[in-house]
């Protein structure tokens, strides 16, 4: 074999190895892509959740045009109390009670025309700049 043929054989071997590596990487990427697709298919739009909860409470008569801030704050207080009661003193608590607190806060915001996601974004920017 000539030096040129040896060089070509090496280049061909390197190219095959690189192709095999890319094939494996491509398979891994496709697998990751499928996992992400499944993960994001389970994602929900927070505005949809807020609307569903709010209108379910309107339908049930829990919220009306006469519902004021005091009513919402009392309900938040009640739900926080239930969350505290569910707490075992360590790191265990009823997740549903935490969801209740959150949903009442979102309902209050919707009732008063506040985009709570926007407000949370503003607050996070403040918190990210804090040093305490």
pLDDT, tens digit (0-9, with 9 covering 90-100), for 26-36: 888 888 888 87
pLDDT, tens digit (0-9, with 9 covering 90-100), for 5-26: 888 889 888 888 888 888 888 8
- What pLDDT does residue 107 have? 98
- What pLDDT does residue 45 have? 86
Three-class DSSP labels, 69-87: HHHHHHHHHHHHHHHHHHC
Those residues with Cβ within 8 angstroms of residue 54's Cβ, 6 or more apart along the chain or in another chain: 63, 106, 107, 110, 111
pLDDT, tens digit (0-9, with 9 covering 90-100), for 35-75: 877 777 777 788 999 999 999 999 999 999 999 999 999 99
Give me the torsion for CA of 5, 7, 9, 14, rounded to 10°. Answer: -170
- What pLDDT does residue 93 have? 96
Mean pLDDT of the chain: 91
> Can you give the pTM of this predicted structure?
0.66
- What pLDDT does residue 17 have? 86
**Selected residue with higher pLDDT from 77 and 2:** 77
């Amino acid at each position: 074999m000539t030096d040129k043929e040896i060089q070509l054989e090496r280049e061909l071997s390197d190219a095959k190895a690189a192709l095999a590596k890319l094939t494996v990487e491509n398979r891994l990427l496709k697998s990751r892509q499928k996992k992400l697709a499944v993960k994001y298919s389970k994602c929900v739009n927070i505005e949809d959740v807020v609307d569903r909860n709010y209108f379910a409470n309107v339908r049930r008569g829990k919220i009306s045009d006469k519902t004021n801030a005091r009513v919402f704050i009392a309900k938040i207080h009640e739900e926080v109390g239930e969350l505290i009661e569910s707490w075992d003193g360590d790191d265990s608590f009823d997740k549903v009670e935490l969801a209740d607190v959150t949903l009442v806060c979102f309902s209050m915001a919707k009732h008063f025309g506040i985009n709570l996601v926007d407000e949370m974004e503003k607050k996070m920017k403040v918190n990210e700049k804090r040093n305490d």
